[in-house]
């Protein structure tokens, strides 16, 4: 297409670190689609929708490099060095990641390795699941009558446990809305931390699993019931978890549900006093 002729060229011997968005191939950026049609080899994560890979040129080689908690996964250093190896072989290398490569995607680590070895690279941002995935569930991360601040955090660190450097009291008191990646496994401890730090036990919580895909499932609960309800639901990762009054807006903004016949509420807060804590 002539349009793509005006977009950057993925040169041999270079690497593009590209975000594929939360799931729906329609959320790919034009730069991402351009990279897919040029790449000789695509090193992709587990969370990349297979439909996105259909945009690759027929001769492109696909290499899986997914890292999933609790399952055998390639080591991050090995993935980074593989990118170097492929680029040094003179290939056009696309490192395709779910969401955004710089939002809990280890893109910074991989880019630093490329710099270390003198490999030219480009960063192509993607729609992160903490924003796009929630939007597909009808939950905005900001709303003027609810919050003027939002915190994004990860539910586990490199060792697989809840990070001990998170200031739970600071987040509980200072962030009306909290969006958590990779938090489902440890939601019991996280909920207890937030309640101990002052969050209300009945504060709304939502789990959005397989966001922006046909398998998307949403569970609405409360902070005190989050662990029990998600266990009873049988839902599994990948999931985005959001804590805050914005969850109530789903009753009015669940646009996917409306397409399937759900009647949306005119007043998502049910005439409650609206909070604006930030």
Task: Give catalytic residues, as residue numbers.
Answer: 45, 67, 182
Identify whether 238 is preceded by a cis peptide bond (ω within 30 of 0).
yes
Q: DSSP for 149-209? A: -EEEEES--TTSS--TT--HHHHHHH-SEEEEES-GGGHHHHHHHHHHTT--TT-EEEEEE
Residue 46 gets the label, from left (phi > 0), alpha (psi -120 to 50) or beta, of alpha
Task: Go through 109-126 and write b for each residue having 16 or more CB atoms within 10 A of its CB, e for each that does not.
Answer: ebbebbeeeebebeebbb
| Mutual angle of helices 226-233 and 187-196, in 10-degree steps | 160
**Would you tell me how many other CB atoms lie within 10 Å of the CB of residue 9?**
11
- Whether residue 104 contacts residue 22, with contact meaning beta carbons closer than 8 Å, is answered with no
User: In the beta sheet, which residues pair with residue 64?
Assistant: 44
Dist. CA 70–CA 68, nearest whole Å: 6
Q: DSSP for 23-44? A: S-GGG--HHHHHHHHH-SEEEE
Q: Which two tokens stand for residue 25?
A: 């191939």
DSSP state of 217: E
């Amino acid at each position: 297409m002539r349009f793509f002729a005006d977009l950057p060229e993925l040169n041999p011997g270079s690497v593009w670190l590209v975000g594929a968005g939360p799931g729906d191939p329609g959320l790919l950026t034009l730069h991402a689609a351009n990279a897919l049609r040029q790449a000789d080899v695509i090193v992709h994560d587990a969370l990349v929708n297979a439909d996105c890979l259909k945009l690759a040129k027929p001769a492109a080689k696909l290499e899986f490099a997914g890292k999933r908690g609790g399952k055998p996964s390639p080591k991050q250093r090995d993935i980074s060095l593989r990118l170097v190896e492929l680029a040094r072989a003179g290939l056009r290398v696309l490192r395709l990641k779910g969401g955004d490569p710089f939002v809990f995607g280890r893109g910074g680590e991989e880019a630093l390795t490329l710099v270390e070895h003198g490999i030219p690279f480009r960063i192509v941002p993607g729609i992160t699941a903490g924003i796009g995935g929630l939007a597909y569930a009808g939950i905005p991360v900001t709303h003027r009558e609810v919050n003027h601040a939002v915190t994004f955090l990860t539910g586990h660190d490199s060792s697989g446990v809840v990070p001990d450097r998170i200031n739970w009291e600071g987040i509980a008191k200072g962030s009306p809305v909290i969006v958590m990646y990779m938090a489902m496994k440890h939601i019991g401890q996280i909920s207890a931390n937030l309640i101990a730090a002052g969050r209300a036990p009945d504060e709304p919580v939502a789990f959005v699993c397989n966001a922006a895909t046909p398998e998307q499932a949403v569970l609405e609960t409360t902070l005190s019931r989050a662990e029990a309800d998600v266990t009873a639901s049988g839902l599994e990762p990948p999931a985005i978890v959001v804590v805050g009054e914005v969850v109530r807006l789903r009753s009015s903004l669940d646009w996917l549900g409306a397409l399937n016949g759900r009647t949306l509420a005119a007043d998502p807060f049910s005439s409650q006093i609206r909070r604006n804590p930030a």
